[in-house]
């Protein structure tokens, strides 16, 4: 707990935000024994954030990258084990070509600017989603991340790229059928745990907390299986404006929830 507190206060100085009593109070109220292990985020509202300022949509995504940097640091400081960011959905291919191209280049940009710090923080970077349609330069950035951070044992940062939950479920079913046909899987042994191992998220714990920014109250084909018992937290704040303060607020609210998994308390 003391370590997490120290990290939070040190991180705060690094990002140059002047100390305020609100923040210290929020941090003091956090229960460090009850930090969610896995937080998943639908980073929504970049386009609207840009439109409000008369800027092109890609300026919103660029601003959203800054938030990614900040939230990764805070998640790491808090001792969160897994952070999954919905970065590009299987439906996002329907967007204008320029916007898609811009989004596809972000992993390389993020690699160039962040790899040093991510490594120094012992963060492992992975991707969840279908690799098949992603351009070579996007996969090459992701594979560089994988290669350079594979030994890291701290926070696991997952970019959900070309991710769609329904297609993930189909991919799992196909994998199971293939293994059954090959004699590697006995259908009588199939249970929830076996099934989960065929998903892109295979060995990850289910998210404890799912955050969606920018006022939409829906799941949008994100981790339908994995979110079965997650706590959901929504905010009107657009992703580029979602800062440490909002994140800590979400964690604090999560800690007030009573998780019963269908049982009685
Ligand atoms: C949704 O907002 C956001 C996205 C489709 C992309 C989000 C991606 C990032 C913030 C950067 C990811 C970083 C890496 C390194 C991959 P929207 O544009 O749909 O918002 P709108 O609903 O206001 O139009």
Domain limits, the chain: 36-163+208-221+232-255, 165-204
Which ligand 1 atom sits nearest the alpha carbon of residue 107?
15
pLDDT confidence of residue 13: 56
Which ligand 1 atom sits nearest the alpha carbon of residue 60?
18
For the chain, the residue count is 265
Which ligand 1 atom sits nearest the alpha carbon of residue 161?
16
pLDDT confidence of residue 259: 81
- What residues of the chain score a pLDDT lower than 50? 16, 18
Ligand 1 centroid distance, CA of 189 (Å): 40
3-state secondary structure of 83: strand
Which of 92, 101, 152, 221 is labelled catalytic?
Answer: 92
Ligand 1 centroid distance, CA of 30 (Å): 29
Cβ atoms of residues 72 and 157 within 8 Å: yes
The CATH superfamily assigned to 36-163+208-221+232-255 is: Decaprenyl diphosphate synthase-like (3.40.1180.10)
Furthest-apart CA atoms within the chain: distance in Å: 62
Cβ atoms of residues 65 and 260 within 8 Å: no
pLDDT confidence of residue 8: 80
Radius of gyration of the chain, Cα coordinates, nearest whole angstrom: 19
Closest listed residue to residue 215, CA positions, set 40, 42, 83: 42
CA distance 141 to 87: 14
188 is catalytic: no
How many whole angstroms from its chain centre is CA 248?
15
């Amino acid at each position: 707990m003391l370590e997490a507190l120290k990290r939070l206060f040190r991180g705060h100085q690094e990002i140059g935000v002047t100390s305020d009593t609100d923040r210290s109070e929020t941090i003091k109220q956090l229960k460090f024994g009850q930090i969610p292990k896995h937080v998943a985020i639908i980073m929504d509202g970049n386009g609207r954030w840009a439109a409000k300022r008369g800027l092109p949509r890609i300026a919103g995504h660029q601003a959203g990258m800054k938030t990614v940097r900040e939230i990764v640091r805070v998640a790491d400081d808090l001792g969160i084990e897994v952070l999954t960011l919905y970065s590009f959905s299987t439906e996002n291919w329907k967007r204008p070509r320029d916007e898609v191209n811009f989004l596809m280049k972000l992993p390389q940009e993020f690699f160039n600017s962040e790899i040093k710090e991510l490594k120094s923080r012992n963060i492992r970077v992975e991707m969840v989603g279908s690799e098949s349609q992603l351009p070579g330069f996007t996969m090459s950035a992701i594979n560089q991340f994988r290669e350079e951070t594979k030994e890291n044992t701290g926070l696991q940062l997952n970019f959900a790229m070309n991710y769609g939950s329904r297609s993930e479920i189909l991919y799992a079913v196909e994998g199971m059928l293939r293994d059954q046909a090959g004699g590697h899987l006995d259908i009588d042994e199939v249970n929830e745990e076996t099934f989960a191992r065929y998903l892109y998220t295979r060995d990850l714990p289910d998210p404890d907390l799912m955050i969606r920014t920018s006022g939409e109250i829906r799941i949008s084909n994100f981790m339908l299986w994995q979110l079965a018992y997650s706590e959901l937290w929504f905010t009107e704040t657009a992703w580029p404006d979602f800062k440490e303060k909002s994140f800590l607020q979400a964690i604090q609210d999560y800690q007030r929830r009573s998780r019963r998994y269908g049982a009685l308390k």
